[in-house]
Amino acid sequence: MGGGLAGAGLAGLGLVTCSSPLEPEETPGALTPPSRALQIVVVGAGVSGLVAAFELSRAGHDVTVLEARERVGGRVLTLRSPFAPGHFAEAGAARIPPEHDLTLGYARHFGLQLDRFYPEDGLFLRVRSGERATVPPSSFLSDWPDFVKIRGGTDRLPAAFANGLDRSVITAAPVTEIAAGAGNTARTTTSDGRNYLSDRVLVTVPVPLLSTIRFSPPLSAAKTEAMNGGFHYQSATRVFVRFRSRFWETDDLNGWGTTDWPEELWHPTWDAPGPEGVLLTYVRGKRADELDALDEEARVARVLAHWEEFLPGAAGHVATGTSHSWQRDPWSRAAWAEPTPTQDSELGSPLARPEGPVHFAGEHISGARGWMNGALESGLRAAREMHES
């Protein structure tokens, strides 16, 4: 998601710097051993489902995770292609604000290293009404507090959760039906017709995808209204361009900035070796929808034509490009929940409410929508609910 959160500074939070190893520590969401071990099915291997599965299985429950995609992570997606060897860029979650104690706590628990998200040298671009200004780091970063990133890619976090489970996540297993049975039990069915019987089911799919699952009995009126478009989601698309050289450095630019397209310009390879570099545009809302209407090649061409206004000659250095639209991704259908205040007050709490043996989690039912921290918070809340039930 975006920035704009007040930061307390890396040192103030006791975060280690880039070169210090992190101390392994207990997880922020550990559960006590249960009085009775439950069979639990978790639908979705994004960070909300994974943290719940991780803590529930560590506490002694028998957990099976069913994931529609062929990978874990959901809206955490690190792209390593079509970039130079060792280069990568994030299509989804990328930066971690200093106050996101759950994200940082789990990163520490798994021994993941954190690096600064933004460079501290070079000039940032600020483009307004066609006027290009350059801004020194001290000024630009005062608007963007001390964010960090996971060294090697954000996908190391979901991978660490998945590796920490007793059982492998079952991927390429879209859930098509969830039926509550007698005695507060449930049957979950995947598209290949397999059935999974359990005491509890945790559903973590984004709200627009609830309608792809047949619930028996049907979901409450509030959840039905939300899944049928009554709970607003934001659009976000990123277009990535691989350049043969970091031509912008000849102007002392570091490859980062903001424009009134509006967009955020990121240089995710700023701290990676090699002559090549990747720049990306991060656009939301209508601008994302406009790019989505184009095919891949045309998206890259459109972004390059726009960048020509403030990075003249950029097109001459291009190796290749790619993009990711979360709206066009069949297992997300949107970027993150951004309900109106009315939708939030009327549907926010009902979306979190269990229905018989079926529980619900996901960034959309948290105090930090659009962030991994929110997804973790909701997964832990649902895990406690099931654990204490």
Ligand X SMILES: Cc1cc2nc3c(=O)[nH]c(=O)nc-3n(C[C@H](O)[C@H](O)[C@H](O)COP(=O)(O)OP(=O)(O)OC[C@H]3O[C@@H](n4cnc5c(N)ncnc54)[C@H](O)[C@@H]3O)c2cc1C
Interface ranges with ligand X (CB under 6 A): 1, 43-49, 66-69, 74-76, 92-96, 103, 174-175, 204-206, 209, 212-213, 236, 326, 331-332, 335-336, 362-363, 370-375
Compute the least distance from the CB of residue 275 to ligand X, in Å: 27
Exposed, middle or buried by CB within 10 Å (0-12, 13-18, 19+), for 5? middle
Q: Which amino acid is at 179?
A: A
Q: How far apart are CA 141 and CA 359, in angstroms?
A: 40
- Return the bridge partners of 236, or none: 284
Q: How far apart are CA 181 and CA 189, in angstroms?
A: 13
Q: How far apart are CA 150 and CA 153, in angstroms?
A: 6
Compute the least distance from the CB of residue 9 to ligand X, in Å: 18
Give the residue with the Cβ less far from ligand X, 68 or 278: 68
Look-up of token digits 């978790």 = 42
What is the DSSP track for 210-243?
GGGSEEESPPPHHHHHIIIIIS-EE-EEEEEEEE
Give the residue with the Cβ less far from ligand X, 102 or 276: 102
Compute the least distance from the CB of residue 89 to ligand X, in Å: 12
Counting every residue written for the chain, the total comes to 389
Query: In the structure encoding, which two tokens stand for residue 273, read together?
Result: 């070796």
Give the residue with the Cβ less far from ligand X, 276 or 357: 357
- Nearest alpha-carbon partner for 48 in 24, 76, 25: 76
Compute the least distance from the CB of residue 326 to ligand X, in Å: 5
Find the helix or strand (DSSP H, E) in which 291 lies.
Answer: helix 285-292
Compute the least distance from the CB of residue 325 to ligand X, in Å: 10
Give the residue with the Cβ less far from ligand X, 276 or 366: 366
Q: How far apart are CA 62 and CA 40, in angstroms?
A: 6
Give the residue with the Cβ less far from ligand X, 245 or 343: 343
Compute the least distance from the CB of residue 252 to ligand X, in Å: 26
Query: In the structure encoding, which two tokens stand for residue 234, read together?
Result: 């934001």
Give the residue with the Cβ less far from ligand X, 68 or 89: 68
Angle at 384 between CA 381 and CA 385, to 5 degrees: 85
Query: In the structure encoding, which two tokens stand for residue 115, read together?
Result: 């690096």
Give the residue with the Cβ less far from ligand X, 31 or 50: 50
109, 115, 116, 120: CA torsion to nearest 10: 160
Give the residue with the Cβ less far from ligand X, 80 or 128: 80
Compute the least distance from the CB of residue 75 to ligand X, in Å: 4
Tell me how far apart the terminal alpha carbons of the chain are, to the nearest angstrom: 33
Compute the least distance from the CB of residue 336 to ligand X, in Å: 5
Compute the least distance from the CB of residue 84 to ligand X, in Å: 23
CA 119 to chain centre: 22
Which residues make Cβ contacts (< 8 Å) with residue 312, sequence separation at least 6?
A: none
Compute the least distance from the CB of residue 278 to ligand X, in Å: 16
Give the residue with the Cβ less far from ligand X, 71 or 302: 71
Give the residue with the Cβ less far from ligand X, 28 or 276: 28
